[in-house]
Structure 1
Amino acid sequence: MIGVSVIGAGFWARQMHLPALAQLPGVRITSVVATSPESAQRAAAPYDEAQALTDIAEAAADPDTHVLDIVAPPDVHLPAVEIAAAHGKHAICIKPLARDLDEADRMLEAVDEAGTRLFYAENVPFIPALQEARQLVDAGDIGTVFRVKACEGIGEPHSPWFFDPDRSGGGAILDMAVHSLEFCRFFAKAPITAVYAEAGTFVHHDRTTAEDTAVLTLRFANGVIGQCEDSWSLQGAMDSRFEVFGTEGRILVDNLHRQPLQVVNARAGWSYPMPIAGLVADGHLAMLGHFLDCLRSGAPSLSDGHVGRDVLAVVDAAYRSVASGRREEIKETTR
C-alpha cells in the first residue's frame, strides 16, 4: 500500500488529484495539508482515515506516508519538495514545477541527494485523445510532422493567488503555456532550441502586473515549428485545442468537444457538465497511476522533474524574449 499525502486543498486537489488517488488500487490517502484546519478538514472528509493537517513536515514525518502530492501554489513547491526529500519521501509536483529555473534546480538537487524521486504532474501527455493522436503520428498516418500548435485559454484563474507574481512566479506563460509547450514537445519529439514571445496584460491590468495573454513561436532541434497561444483573457468560454501538421495530413484535437453541452451565464460564467469525468478525460487518473506504478517497479517515468525543469527553460527564454523583443535561445536543458 502506497500512502499519499496531498499538499493543498484547493480546486485542483479537491476536483482532480484526491478523487483520482481514491480510485487507484493499492493507494491510501493518508492526509491533506492546507493553510487552515477548516480547509484541510473539508478536503480530507470524504476519504476515510485521511488526516487534516496544516504542517507539511508533520505529513512527511508520518511513517505511513510514502509520497507527497504537491497541489499547491508555486511558492510552496520548493519547500515542500525539500521537506519530502529530507524525510526520505518521494514527491509529485503539479505544474509549473517551480517559479523559476533556480528553484527547479534546487528541487532536483534535493531529491538527488536524498535518493528519492520527483514526478512532474503535467497531464497533457496522458490525455487519452492525445495518446491516440500520438499513435497515429508514430504510425506515419500524417507523414512527417513539420508544425505543431496549441491554444489554451480561460477567462481568469480560479484563485486570487495567481495574480500575485511573488506567489505564482508569472502569468499566463508560466501557468498556461507550460501545457502548450509540453504538447508541442510531445509531438515534435525534439528539444526546443529557440523561442520568440509576445505578451501583454490586456484584461486584468487592474489586478496584476503579470501577462494575461501570450503568443509563443518555437523552433525545435529537428526543424519543426511550434506555436502556443495562451491566455487568461478569453471571455465567456474556455479553449483547449491542439493541432499537428504533417506532410500527408493533419490532426486536430479539440479537448472540449468530448462535452457537447456548454453553459454560459452572467452568474456562473462558463461551465461544462462532464459526461466523462475530467480526471479521466484530462488524463489525471492515468498520470497519477503511472507515477505510482513507476514507484512500485522502479521504471523511468514519462514525466519526471527533469521534464518540468526543461519546460521552465523554455518559459525562461520566453520571458527574456518578451523583454528583449528578440528570439531567444534556450539555455542548456537537463536531457
Structure 2
Amino acid sequence: MQRTKVAILGGGFIADIHLESYHRFIPEAEVVGIYTRQADKAKAMAAKHNIPQWYDSIDALLADSGCEVVDICLPNYLHANATLKAAAAGKHIIIEKPLAVTLEEADSMIAACKKANVKLMYAEELCFAPKYERVRHLVKEGAVGDIFMLKQSEKHSGPHTDWFYDIKYSGGGVLMDMGCHAFGWFFWMLNNAKVKSVQASMNTVLHKNRTKGEDNSVVIVEFENGVTGVAENSWAKHGGMDDRSEVYGTGGVVYADLFIGNSALTYSRNGYGYAMEKADTTAGWSFTVFEEVFNQGYPHELKHFIECVRENKQPLVTGELGRAVLEVIYAAYASAGSGKKIQLPFTPRVDRPIDLWLHPTEG
C-alpha cells in the first residue's frame, strides 16, 4: 500500500497528540517531516517520533519533504500564514482550532485553498469523538424527539503553554481556546443551522496576573430553528479536565461526559433503536455505550482527512465551519463587552476578537 505522506507543523502538546494518532491508528499515512520554530526542538521531536526529516523553515519543508498533507498544530496567530503557504505549494491542509484569529484571515485561507484546489479540513475533534457521535446518532434515530437545547462545557485550570495567555498571539482567552469546541459541536448537531443571536458573560477570575484574556465564560447562542445552545468554558476550574455535553429534546435527554465511563446516560420516552420493533427495549433510562476508542476523536478526524485526500472526497468538517465558529466568538466577545445581545451576521473589523470585549467601542 502506498502511504499518504504527512508533514506536521508544530511541536507542542497537540502535535504530540496528532503524531500518536498517526502512528497508532492510521497505517495508510506516513509522517515524513516536522517543522518547529526552534531547530533543536524540531530535531528532538523527529527523534522522539521516528520522523525522517525535521525543519525550522516552513518553506524548506514544503519544498523538500515530499508531503501531500500539511497538518497545522501551530499557535493561533501563525495559522493563516502557514495555510496560505501550504495552499500555494499545492498541499492539502488539516488545521487545529481555532481556524484563524480574524475573520479576514479565515476568508483568505478558505479562498486560497479553493483557488489552489486543495482540501481544507477544520480539525474539530468533537465532531468525531465516539461518545459524542453516538449521542448525535441517537438524536438522528429520534431518541429524544425534537431538540430544543444543547449544552457543552469544557473546563480546567488553564493551559500549560505561555502563548495561550498572551492575547497578541491567541486572539483571546478561554473562548478562543475552548469555546470554539462548543460552537463547532452545536453546528455539527444542528446540520449547520444559522445563528440568530449571541449573548455572553465573561470575566478573568483566576489568572488576572497572567493574562488580559477571559478565563471563565458563559455564552448563549440562539439559532434560527429555535434551538438554544449554552457554552460554558473555564480556565479557572480546579481538579482536572471536565468535558461534557447535554441534549434536551421533547422526548428525552442525553448526558455525555467525555472522560468518565464508556456510556452516555440517556432517557428516551418512546425508546430508540435501528428497528422500531426494538425501540421498547430502550424506553426510559439507559446507558448508551459508545465504541471504546481514543475517546476525544483525534485519530478519527485525522483518519477521515487522509481518506478524503486518498479518495478525493470532501471533508465532513471544512474551513467554512471554522469561520462560522469564529463569527460566533466575535459576537460573544462583543456581547460581553456591550452587555447586549448581538445579532448575526456580525463581521466587525478588529485586530483580534478579544478587542470587542476589552475595548467595546472599537470595531
TM-score, length-scaled by structure 2: 0.83
* 3-state secondary structure, aligned to 2:121: strand
Distance 1:197 1:25, change over 3 A: same
Which of the residues 190, 194, 197 maps onto 1:194? 197
Q: Describe how 1:114-133 pairs up with structure 2 within 5 A.
A: 114-133=116-135
State whether residues 217 and 226 of structure 1, in contact with CA within 8 Å, keep that contact through their aligned partners in structure 2. Answer: yes
* 3-state secondary structure, aligned to 1:242: strand
Q: Describe how 1:17-56 pairs up with structure 2 within 5 A.
A: 17-22=18-23, 23-56=25-58
Distance 1:34 1:63 in 2: 14
Per-residue CA deviations over 1:53-100 (Å, capped at 9, x if unaligned) read 111111111362111100010111011001101111111110000011
What amino acid sits opposite 2:111 in the alignment?
E
TM-superposed CA distance for 1:243, in Å, is 0.1
Distance 1:109 1:241 in 2: 34
Is the counterpart of residue 2 in structure 1 residue 4 in structure 2? yes
Is the counterpart of residue 254 in structure 1 residue 253 in structure 2? no
Is the counterpart of residue 88 in structure 1 residue 90 in structure 2? yes
Is the counterpart of residue 282 in structure 1 residue 283 in structure 2? no
Distance 1:44 1:279 in 2: 26
Which of the residues 147, 167, 172 maps onto 1:165? 167
Is the counterpart of residue 226 in structure 1 residue 240 in structure 2? no
Higher CA-based Rg = 2
Distance 1:295 1:147 in 2: 35
Is the counterpart of residue 318 in structure 1 residue 332 in structure 2? yes
* 3-state secondary structure, aligned to 2:294: helix
What amino acid sits opposite 1:192 in the alignment?
V
Q: Which runs of 5+ in 2 are unaligned?
A: 263-291, 348-363
TM-superposed CA distance for 1:328, in Å, is 0.5
Distance 1:232 1:295 in 2: 36
TM-superposed CA distance for 1:116, in Å, is 1.3
State whether residues 119 and 291 of structure 1, in contact with CA within 8 Å, keep that contact through their aligned partners in structure 2. Answer: yes
State whether residues 102 and 326 of structure 2, in contact with CA within 8 Å, keep that contact through their aligned partners in structure 1. Answer: yes
Distance 2:202 2:326 in 1: 17
Distance 1:77 1:30 in 2: 21
* 3-state secondary structure, aligned to 1:137: helix
State whether residues 101 and 309 of structure 1, in contact with CA within 8 Å, keep that contact through their aligned partners in structure 2. Answer: yes
Which of the residues 135, 143, 146 maps onto 1:144? 146
What amino acid sits opposite 1:59 in the alignment?
L
* 3-state secondary structure, aligned to 1:45: helix
Distance 1:120 1:279, change over 3 A: farther
* Percent sequence identity over aligned pairs: 36
State whether residues 188 and 220 of structure 1, in contact with CA within 8 Å, keep that contact through their aligned partners in structure 2. Answer: no
The match for 1:305 is 319
* 3-state secondary structure, aligned to 2:142: coil
Is the counterpart of residue 296 in structure 1 residue 344 in structure 2? no
Distance 1:304 1:279, change over 3 A: farther
* 3-state secondary structure, aligned to 1:78: helix
What amino acid sits opposite 1:229 in the alignment?
E
Which range is displaced more, 36-45 or 150-159? 36-45
Distance 2:171 2:59 in 1: 24
TM-superposed CA distance for 1:332, in Å, is 6.9
Distance 1:173 1:54 in 2: 30
Distance 1:167 1:135, change over 3 A: same
Distance 1:30 1:230 in 2: 36
TM-superposed CA distance for 1:236, in Å, is 2.5
The match for 1:104 is 106
Distance 1:31 1:279 in 2: 27
Distance 1:251 1:62 in 2: 49
What amino acid sits opposite 1:295 in the alignment?
V
TM-superposed CA distance for 1:49, in Å, is 4.6
The runs of at least 4 aligned residues of structure 1 exceeding 6 Å deviation read none
Q: Which runs of 5+ in 1 are unaligned?
A: 260-277
Per-residue CA deviations over 1:156-215 (Å, capped at 9, x if unaligned) read 112000011111111111111001112222223322221101111111111110111110
Distance 1:316 1:289 in 2: 31
State whether residues 248 and 254 of structure 2, in contact with CA within 8 Å, keep that contact through their aligned partners in structure 1. Answer: yes
Distance 1:283 1:211 in 2: 27
